[in-house]
Amino acid sequence: MNLQTIQYSAFRNHARNFLEPAIIHKWNLEQQNIFTQLKKEGAVALAGDMRADTPGHSAKFGSYTLMDNETNKIVDLQLIQSNEVGGSYHMEKEGLKRCLDKLDANGLAVDYIVTDRHPQIQKYLRERGITQFYDVWHFEKGLSKKLEKLSKRKECEVLKRWLKSIKNHVYWSATSSVSGPEKVAKLTSLLNHIQNIHVHNNPLFPKCEHPDVLSRDRKKWFQPGSQALYKVEKVLNNKRVVKDVAKLSHHYQTSSLEAFHSVILRFTPKNVVFPFIGMLCRLYLAAMHQNENCQREQAITTTGQAVYKFVFPKTKRGECTAKPVKTEPTYGKLDFFFIMSS
């Protein structure tokens, strides 16, 4: 076709001398504006999580992101290479450390941070004196895996009827409570509820809040002293489970941050290899795109009706969920760099 194009070396020279410095400069300016706005609001509530550039435990790069829970804006983003910290397992802690150091250097105080239950993160935040809450989805996912495995045993078949209800109860216990002991009281009350006992000894949650309903299906209840009840009780009363339930986040979660990780895939696909500076600039572009579109309104029809769509999340195994449809995103920041590169 006799098409002419620039060589890769010419592209790299152009990117190195013009595009990459411009992206880094633009991100630094935007980040300083975010810091200025957050300082006026006092201590900030954050969500934090790491994304690896490849699946598994052999990632070369890891990007740790801090998001402001109030606005869903990316506050800081750090890229770590595994050989800097002695392996990919240590990248998450180092990424969080660099993010928090950046906030401290700019005079930002952290009220609390919502993360997953990574052991190194727990210890580091405890040593740093920062309040940490756990994302409910990560906790529920781990607990449900144990219960699903248990329900496959012959003596625990009755548990299959309760798996979905237990999932819902975990979320309700976290979001309807204001203190750690109350969350624990509500979750452990489940052991009475599945035996058709709805009055509890804990004063923080003395009685189930559902209306009294006479069930005709007696087979769904766990029998006192049964092997099934013993095994479920062993899972729910596990020391780590009880300890982690008390620290579940009752307000913000990391779902918006997980959604941002999906946005990153459009800028840095995991099946493409990028150099460090190339990866960093693409992450900055993703962050600026997120900050530009994080507060979009829900789309409406010409008659003023809110627009929803049906989605089928993998975790719900075929069940659909109605999800609000937002207005179309804008690409102001990206258009700027596109014009610059042309």
The residue count of the chain comes to 342
- CATH: 3.30.420.10, 3.40.50.1000, 1.10.645.10, 3.20.20.150. Which one for 8-135+252-295? 3.30.420.10
- Quick one: CA dihedral 218, 224, 227, 230, positive or negative? positive
Instruction: Please tell me the predicted confidence (pLDDT) of residue 93.
Output: 95
- The residues spanned by each domain of the chain are 8-135+252-295, 159-245, 299-342
SS3 state at 324? strand
Mean pLDDT, the chain cut into blocks of 10 residues (342 residues total): 83 88 94 95 94 80 95 96 90 96 96 94 95 95 94 93 94 94 95 92 92 78 93 94 95 93 91 90 94 90 89 76 87 62 48
115-123 contacts: CB < 8 A, separation 24 or more? 115/47, 115/48, 115/49, 115/254, 116/49, 116/254, 117/142, 117/244, 118/92, 118/93, 120/89, 120/90, 120/92, 120/93, 121/48, 121/92, 121/93, 121/96
First-to-final CA distance of the chain = 22
Give strand ranges (E) for the chain: 44-52, 61-68, 74-81, 110-115, 131-134, 308-311, 321-324
Q: What is the pLDDT of residue 342?
A: 46
The neighbouring-strand residues paired with 311 are 321
Helix (H, G, I), strand (E, B) or coil at 179: coil
Task: Return d(Cα 78, Cα 287) in angstroms, integer.
Answer: 11
Instruction: Check residue 307 and report its DSSP letter.
Output: P
CA gap 109, 45 in Å, rounded: 9
**Does pTM surpass 0.75?**
yes
Pairing mode, strands 44-52 and 110-115: parallel
Question: In this structure, how many other beta carbons lie within 10 angstroms of the beta carbon of residue 209?
Answer: 10
Q: Give the DSSP letter of residue 15.
A: I
Helix (H) / strand (E) element for 122: namely helix 119-128
Give the burial class of 44: count Cβ atoms within 10 A of its Cβ; 0-12 exposed, 13-18 middle, 19 or more buried.
buried
> What pLDDT score does 132 carry?
96
